């Protein structure tokens, strides 16, 4: 019997993020990309260390940030709705932390309130680029609060920026891509050459090498190759977005204070880190 996720994929209502990750992650995730993940994780959290902390990775994807958290000494719980992502993360665990009892990998949905409640509370709840792909972003945001019940809990998330008509147009493009068939071929045939053209120009300007941008892409982009990142962007459906102030006011109304914010004025993601108001200072 097909799972709800499999049915949504077959119906063209959901992109297979995990399939995209799975096709290259074992080769792409190396010491350099892991160290960069550790640095960016601590930067977003605003922490010098997370050793001994409990860490929940909602929508773990390739598993690289779960791995980074575990390397930094956190006790990690990872879950994803996409079974391929679960397998990617499990593979990383077996590769770097075989039979480790402080890293748990599970299947689960950010929209499953009962499942989220069953996990308990955590020092850090992390969900980078996930909640806007669930199909019900506001419910996913509400569920992210549930495991963040400790007085000093941190929530670190990224949500696609609302650029008005641009966001709405891209939602339609992504929906068309996920239908498959001729629509996917058409969207890919138009977008992919343009993406590579821009990358070549960026390579010439930044690296004095037409392929410099493509070769160096994964170091600062979550260990993802340039090509796979373009497919990830094209197929990223369901797709929702919000202005930074919407996210800020949501968490403020749920008892959290903003401690870190990285914004964009383009189609990318805004990154946030919040802490419970009861204890706004952390190291």
Percent of the chain residues past pLDDT 90, beyond the cut: 79
14 and 152, same domain (yes or no): yes
Q: What pLDDT score does 32 carry?
A: 84
Percent of the chain residues past pLDDT 70, beyond the cut: 94
Q: What pLDDT score does 80 carry?
A: 97
Half-sphere exposure of 21 (CA within 13 A, CB side): 26
Distance CA 250, CA 165 (A): 23
Q: What pLDDT score does 220 carry?
A: 61
Q: What is the dihedral of CA 19, 17, 40, 56, to 10 degrees?
A: -100
Domain with 203 in it = 165-235
* Residue range 140-188, pLDDT digits in tens: 999 999 999 998 999 999 999 999 999 999 999 999 999 999 999 999 9
135 and 52, same domain (yes or no): yes
86 and 222, same domain (yes or no): no
174 and 206, same domain (yes or no): yes
Does residue 282 carry a pLDDT above 50? no
Q: How many domains does the chain have?
A: 2
* Residue range 184-243, pLDDT digits in tens: 999 999 999 999 999 999 999 999 999 999 988 865 656 678 888 899 999 999 999 999
152 and 223, same domain (yes or no): no
228 and 101, same domain (yes or no): no
Last residue of a domain, one of 235, 250, 270: 235
CATH of the domain at 20: 3.40.50.150
143 and 200, same domain (yes or no): no
Least confident stretch, 16-20, 52-56, 76-80, 101-105? 16-20
197 and 214, same domain (yes or no): yes
231 and 258, same domain (yes or no): no
pLDDT bin (cut points 50, 70, 90) of residue 252 is: very high
191 and 249, same domain (yes or no): no
156 and 183, same domain (yes or no): no
113 and 134, same domain (yes or no): yes
């Amino acid at each position: 019997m097909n799972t709800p996720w499999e049915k949504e994929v077959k119906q063209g209502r959901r992109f297979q993020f995990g399939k995209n990750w799975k096709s290259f992650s074992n080769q792409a995730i190396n010491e350099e990309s892991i160290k960069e993940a550790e640095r960016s994780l601590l930067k977003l959290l605003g922490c010098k260390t997370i050793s001994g902390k409990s860490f929940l990775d909602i929508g773990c994807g390739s598993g690289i940030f779960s791995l980074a958290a575990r390397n930094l000494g956190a006790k990690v719980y990872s879950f994803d709705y996409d079974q391929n992502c679960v397998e990617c993360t499990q593979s990383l665990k077996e590769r770097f932390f075989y039979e480790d009892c402080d890293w748990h990998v599970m299947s689960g949905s950010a929209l499953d309130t009962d499942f989220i409640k069953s996990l308990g509370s955590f020092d850090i709840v992390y969900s980078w680029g996930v909640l806007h792909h669930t199909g019900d972003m506001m419910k996913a945001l509400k569920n992210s609060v549930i495991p963040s019940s400790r007085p000093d809990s941190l929530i670190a998330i990224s949500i696609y920026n609302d650029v008005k008509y641009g966001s709405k147009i891209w939602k339609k493009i992504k929906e068309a891509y996920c239908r498959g068939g001729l629509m996917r071929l058409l969207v890919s045939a138009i977008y992919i050459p343009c993406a590579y053209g821009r990358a070549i120009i960026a390579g010439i300007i930044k690296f004095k090498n037409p392929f410099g941008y493509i070769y160096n892409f994964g170091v600062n982009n979550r260990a993802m190759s340039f090509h796979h990142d373009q497919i990830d962007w094209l197929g990223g459906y369901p797709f929702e977005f919000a202005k930074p102030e919407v996210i800020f006011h949501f968490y403020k109304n749920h008892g959290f204070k903003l401690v870190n914010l990285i914004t964009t004025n383009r189609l990318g993601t805004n990154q946030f880190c919040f802490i419970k108001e009861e204890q706004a200072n952390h190291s």
